[in-house]
Chain A
Amino acid sequence: DGGITQSPKYLFRKEGQNVTLSCEQNLNHDAMYWYRQDPGQGLRLIYYSQIVNDFQKGDIAEGYSVSREKKESFPLTVTSAQKNPTAFYLCASGAQREGLVNEQFFGPGTRLTVL
């Protein structure tokens, strides 16, 4: 089945550790996105990538890093520089047409908790 997978579903991290969240899609979409969701708030864009080997910072990129070595994969690393990393992280992908992205499809999310 086509879709987006994220792993792990739950992740616990000690302060000072880097952790990497996985995001894979088999929808053949060029664009991929990482969002952060805090309780009672909407989604905020961390990083996005429109093509392999290229990515741009979103609104809240500080303390995060990404890579896009393959079209299917867009892993997100939460570094120790991120001061408040406890949140729900959602990955999405979308196909572009005429400069506008069609609907974005979301993965099931990873809930990160810093202990």
Chain B
Amino acid sequence: AQKVTQAQTEISVVEKEDVTLDCVYETRDTTYYLFWYKQPPSGELVFLIRRNSFDEQNEISGRYSWNFQKSTSSFNFTITASQVVDSAVYFCALSERSSSNTGKLIFGQGTTLQVKP
């Protein structure tokens, strides 16, 4: 069965600290996508990244970086030098090919990140 687990419910850091948000997934598919979304207080989900299951190369985008490891079924997200504007709920999600090609997203519970000034 497919499942996404974000074990960290809430994280609180002080501005400029680095922080890593964990994501562990379960799937029987060999072809799938992994996603990270940010949900600021306004409520709208903002797309951050999509990772194909065949591409394990880590990615960096500014202060954001992602570490995809198939061996441990993890897709962790690191924010370097965190800022107050990073405060939000972050969701990890999985989309499998075998879901009848629906593109259905399976979301984790979310991690609430609070960055204090």
Binary flags per residue of B10-37, CB closer than 8 Å to A gives 1, else 0 = 0000000000000000000001110101
Contacts of B95 in A (CB 8 A): 100-101
Contacts of B46 in A (CB 8 A): 106
Asked whether A50 lies within 8 Å of B102 as measured between CB atoms, the reply is yes
Asked whether B101 lies within 8 Å of A99 as measured between CB atoms, the reply is yes
Contacts of A8 in B (CB 8 A): none
Asked whether A104 lies within 8 Å of B101 as measured between CB atoms, the reply is no
A58 to B104 alpha-carbon distance, docked (Å): 9
Partner of A103, one of B35, B108, B109: B35
Contacts of A94 in B (CB 8 A): 103
Contacts of B47 in A (CB 8 A): 103-106
A56 to B104 alpha-carbon distance, docked (Å): 11
Is B107 at the interface (CB under 8 A from chain A)?
yes
Main secondary structure of the interface of B (DSSP, over half): loop
Contact A96/B101 with A42-B91, A101-B95, A103-B35 known, Cβ cut-off 8 Å: yes
Contacts of B105 in A (CB 8 A): 33, 43, 45, 101, 104
Asked whether B33 lies within 8 Å of A100 as measured between CB atoms, the reply is yes
A106 to B45 alpha-carbon distance, docked (Å): 6
Contact A99/B50 with A41-B110, A90-B45, A94-B103 known, Cβ cut-off 8 Å: no
Query: Could you give 17 example pairs across A and B, Cβ below 8 Å?
Result: A42-B109, A42-B110, A43-B91, A43-B105, A44-B107, A50-B103, A88-B43, A90-B44, A99-B101, A100-B31, A100-B33, A100-B95, A101-B95, A101-B102, A105-B47, A106-B47, A108-B42
Residues of chain B touching chain A, judged by Cβ–Cβ distance below 8 Å, are 4, 9, 31-33, 35, 37, 42-47, 50, 91, 95, 97, 101-105, 107-110
Residues of chain A touching chain B, judged by Cβ–Cβ distance below 8 Å, are 31, 33, 40-45, 48, 50, 56, 58, 88, 90, 92, 94, 96, 99-109, 111
Apart from A40-B110, A100-B31, 13 more pairs, CB < 8 Å: A31-B102, A33-B103, A42-B107, A42-B110, A43-B91, A90-B43, A94-B103, A101-B95, A101-B102, A102-B50, A104-B47, A106-B47, A111-B43
